[in-house]
Structure 1
Amino acid sequence: MKRAKSLTDLPNIKPDYFHPMDADALFSATRSTHKPRILLLYGSLRERSFSRFAAEEAARILNAFGAETRIFHPNGLPLVDETSAEHPKVAELRDLVGWCEGMVWSSPERHGAMSGVMKNQIDWIPLSLGSVRPTQGKTLAVMQVCGGSQSFNTVNQLRILGRWMRLLTIPNQSSVAKAWDEFDATGRMKPSAYYDRIVDVMEELTRFTLLTRDIREHLVDRYSERIESHTELSKRVNQSKAV
């Protein structure tokens, strides 16, 4: 790694850990050839779950764009901290997060916020597993379904969580108003501007995933963490025992 030529005006900088911009690193010498791997989470346990219907519709669209998709079904997932991470549903979720290169979070809005089912899934995803951050640098698209008029409270909250999980949350998003009227009896979404927006979001997510998946570690590499030892970083990130 090349060192900066002059840091005389930055006495607080530790030169060994300050890396000049390397434009070549943004273009991977080798490119992955497998299909983009997208994990979809939804936030309701209801039999007729509109957040699940939206996630399933999104998966169909992603598949048409050439992605490989998997949907995690939260039925049976215990409350966070109710049991250990060895629980089969927790292990399944964490394995899927490790497998994917991007995610879709689809939640209903309840009392002006994301559902508890949605938040519980995200809370089970650790910020770090040893020295590996399972979500760091992966892409994310956020969606919500509303029982009444259109709202953006939930997607805004999901964006905050995405940033906290160090995901690359794409600019576009979906909010489906009066979701009970947007899906037919079989759970398929009817033609509408809401449907078109989900197509837009999945198109954008696929592009961002293809663009970033081979350089994601470089995109989120941080000076402040390069000056920390592995032990110090692990102590700071893994706070589960202290919470």
Structure 2
Amino acid sequence: MNNIDIDKYKTAWKNESSFSNKKLSEDNISKYLKKSSKGISATFRNGLIFDIILKSLSVFASLYLIYLFPNTKNLIILNAILLIVIAFLLFFQIRVFRNLPQNNYSNTDLKKTLEVKLDFYYSIYLKSIYVSSFSASLIFLYGFLYYLVVDDGYIRKFQIDDIIVIGSGLIIAYAFNAFAQIKQHSFQIKQIEVCLKDFDDQTLSENKIRELKNKRKKMLFVVILSLLAGLLLFGYFMT
């Protein structure tokens, strides 16, 4: 029986470990940071565009309810208030969208560009997430109102049970959406902060990049589960 050369395997393992932990070249670091910068920019932009679209659709939903029931005073008052609130929320989101930081991917300004985006997140975009989360509450509210229209043919006068259901649904929808968004965005921001720190310390390695990518995949899975859970909650309140 052949003897197993333990030292040989130890050496091979050390070499492999050393290879996976080797520092990245400046060019590879720049490429990764550029990709991270583009990713966070796309997250900011797409999130704002999506929210602006949702709130714009909410405006049409209110106007259509007023059109369907022009003689229902309480419903008209409710939708008038909603339209005013949505207008302020839209104004805020559009202003944030116009102030999105510009991309500069030259090697000299890449680090500064990322730092500007981090500052933008903490000073402005984080507030935008709280504003964006109102869309979840609006979807729930309009879903409930249109459910009554389809089911009963009109919007009945709300009883105490209806008010409790609507109030609970609005709060849960807002809290759930805000929590999920903050969790997702904080994760992305923390990854960029780690990269910048490792970049300053000259310790960014292939192993670290691989670790960050694996964490990103896990977070994507969590986000998908959160969306499914949100849809299930919405369906529960609608039944």
- Tell me whether the two structures share a fold, i.e. TM-score over 0.5: no
**Whose radius of gyration is greater, 1 or 2?**
2
Which structure is higher in strand share? 1
Task: State TM-score, norm by structure 1.
Answer: 0.28
Task: State TM-score, norm by structure 2.
Answer: 0.29
Which structure is higher in helix share? 2
